[in-house]
Amino acid sequence: MEFKISYVIIWQFYMKNIGRKEESERVMNKMKTRCQVLYNYRYLIKQLVTKDIKLKYRRSFLGYVWSVLNPLMVMVVMYLVFSKMFRFNIDNYSAYLIIGQTLFTFMTEATNQAIFSITGNGPLLKKVYVPKYVFTLSKVTSSLVNLVFSLGAMIIVFVITKVQFSWAMLFFPVILMEVYIFSLGLGLFLAEAAVFFRDIQYIYNVLTTAWMYLTPIFYPMEQLPESVQKAIKIFNPMYQYITQFRTISLHQTLPAAGDVVYGFAIAFVFLIVGSWAFIRKQDDFILYI
């Protein structure tokens, strides 16, 4: 009897582990298939990104120069308002301001573009088969290209305000990758939600306005109560990314390893949740667009 019970326990343990192994293999095979599909459509993504960038500056006299001029002009206005009227005591306020402004603008632009990535391509999706996430990915990627152009404005401000350039700035791409992954995950979630609930665009505009004021873009973090500071540090991903960028630029040192790990962890959590929500409902998109 004891032998039989032991045999049953061993058999259940064995089958349980075999089941886990098979489930793990199934998930890995799915991921490999999706990565292969993404690779196969790389030229389409490139064309969509190119189209978005060209359309943004079509019939504009200055064209791509606006990618540099626009953040500079916004920064000057915000600088005059917050440094002269509110008088925040921040060293090199111009550089401090443009860093926060540039990264937050990228996130809002990428996610706002992502909201319309599926509904705006309805006629194409009804005619031919294309992986639906390609459109959201292309919108976020085109915003990343615009961000790279905007870095020109940031460099100009750094030169004028005599920010010391250092080897730590080679770490910039890592931080940009954090923001990109986070924006892509949030963009996938919003794109899926907008198909079934069109009012999401208006709600999101209100949320991003509140989000901006809860991010230390134009004011020092020390202005806030300690309880609010702790909440922002934990629950506001943009605070993490902007602070890392400022640490490199204004303090000429690398951000703490824990902050980088935490930033990537948040980004991948959003990517996983956004991808799961998107893939779960993508077959129903055609019924609502």
Query: 262-283, pLDDT tens digit by residue?
Result: 999 999 999 999 999 999 988 8
pTM for the structure as a whole? 0.85
3-class state of residue 23 by DSSP: helix
Q: What is the mean pLDDT of the chain?
A: 83
Give the Cβ contact number of residue 11 at 10 Å: 10
Residue 3 has pLDDT above 50, yes or no: no
Residue 62 has pLDDT above 90, yes or no: no
End-to-end C-alpha distance for the chain, whole angstroms:
63
Nearest to 259 by CA among 273, 269, 245, 275: 245
Name the residue with higher pLDDT: 118 or 79.
118
Structure confidence at residue 2 as a pLDDT band (50, 70, 90): very low
Instruction: Report how far residue 148's alpha carbon sits from residue 152's, in angstroms, rounded to the nearest whole number.
Output: 7
Residue 20 has pLDDT above 50, yes or no: yes
Instruction: Report how far residue 65's alpha carbon sits from residue 118's, in angstroms, rounded to the nearest whole number.
Output: 29
Q: 10 to each of 3, 5, 19, 20, 21, how far by Cα in Å?
A: 10, 9, 14, 15, 16
